[in-house]
């Protein structure tokens, strides 16, 4: 089963690598793309539980940790769980999971070059910026909103899909220990967002296959706008995105 998130990211890779018209997008900006950040959990959705969310780390009672509650910034203070059987279980310590450790290590190794951090999820049609633990916005909230609205408008221009730009806590729900909050606060990547792609199907997470193409195409247009903004702002051929 291919998800809209995975297909969208594979499409971004193919557009960058195979479409010569987009060569400028990787000549002046470096891209680091992880199509599947939770491979064991993703595999488990094929073999057992279709909507499995967590990793597959064995616990004393239940399996898995929610990777997006496992980052070490305001870890487990709100919007997460200490009960290992909950879907939002934050783990017994921050960065308990190999998956989050890998993201942490790569990000910190390149933090001086990374100008934009994106976590691609589904579902909900949101462009979310920090914070998840408080409704108080970051100091650069105005810029985060402005760039989010550029992304939103680019998406809307393709198929009329309407995204909402807001912080995680104000727009969606409280969620501490998320990757974007950690990326911004600890790794120092000011422009950090979670993109929640459109949903569908009975549970929202299982978008019908016939809709994936339209989601992929509009998401690519949004990525192009984000690239252009980063290129203009930093004008650095050695920038990691």
Predicted local confidence at residue 59, as pLDDT:
94
pLDDT in tens, 190-206: 999 999 998 755 556 66
pTM: 0.92
Residue 240's pLDDT band (cuts 50, 70, 90) = low
Picking from 91-95, 112-116, 237-241, which range would have the lowest pLDDT averaged per residue? 237-241
Q: Each residue of 102-124: pLDDT tens digit?
A: 999 999 999 999 999 999 998 88
Taking 80 as the threshold, does the pLDDT of residue 237 lie above it? no
pLDDT per residue over 22-53, tens digit each? 999 998 899 999 999 999 999 999 899 888 99
Q: Using the predicted structure, report yes or no on whether residue 2 has a pLDDT greater than 60.
A: no
What domains can you pick out in the chain, each with its CATH number? 4-240 (3.40.630.10)
Contacts of 130 (CB under 8 A, 6+ apart): 138, 144, 167, 168, 178, 180, 181, 184, 185, 192
Please indicate whether residue 217 or residue 209 has the higher confidence score (pLDDT): 217
Catalytic residue list: 196
Q: Are 104 and 177 in contact (CB under 8 A)?
A: no
Specify burial of residue 136 (Cβ count, 10 A radius: 0-12, 13-18, 19+). Answer: exposed
Among residues 54, 123, 44, 41, the alpha carbon closest in space to that of 88 is found at 54
Phi and psi at 85, nearest 5°, equal -90, -10
Instruction: Tell me the average pLDDT of the chain.
Output: 93
| 45 contacts 3 by C-beta, under 8 angstroms | no
pLDDT in tens, 121-176: 988 899 999 999 999 999 999 999 999 999 999 999 999 999 999 999 999 999 99
Spatial distance between the Cα atoms of 231 and 64, rounded to a whole number of angstroms: 38
């Amino acid at each position: 089963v291919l998800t809209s998130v995975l297909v969208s990211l594979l499409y971004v890779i193919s557009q960058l690598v195979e479409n010569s018209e987009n060569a400028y997008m990787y000549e002046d900006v470096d891209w680091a793309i992880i199509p599947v950040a939770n491979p064991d959990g993703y595999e488990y959705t094929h073999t057992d539980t279709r909507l499995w969310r967590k990793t597959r780390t064995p616990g004393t009672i239940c399996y898995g940790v929610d990777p997006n509650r496992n980052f070490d910034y305001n870890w487990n203070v709100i919007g997460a769980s200490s009960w290992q059987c909950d879907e939002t279980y934050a783990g017994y310590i921050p960065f308990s999971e190999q998956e989050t450790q890998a993201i942490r290590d790569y990000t910190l190794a390149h933090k001086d070059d990374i100008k934009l951090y994106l976590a691609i999820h589904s579902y909900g049609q949101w462009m979310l910026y920090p914070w998840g633990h408080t409704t108080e916005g970051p100091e650069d909230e105005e810029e985060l909103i402005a760039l989010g609205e550029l992304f939103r408008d680019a998406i809307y221009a393709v198929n009329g899909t309407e995204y909402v730009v807001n912080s995680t806590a104000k727009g969606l729900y409280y969620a501490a220990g998320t990757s974007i909050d950690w990326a911004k606060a600890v790794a120092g990547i000011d422009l950090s967002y979670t993109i929640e792609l459109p949903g569908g199907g009975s549970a929202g997470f299982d978008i019908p296959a016939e809709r994936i193409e339209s989601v992929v195409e509009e998401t690519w247009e949004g990525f192009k706008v984000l690239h252009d903004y980063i290129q203009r702002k930093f004008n650095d051929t050695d920038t990691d995105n």
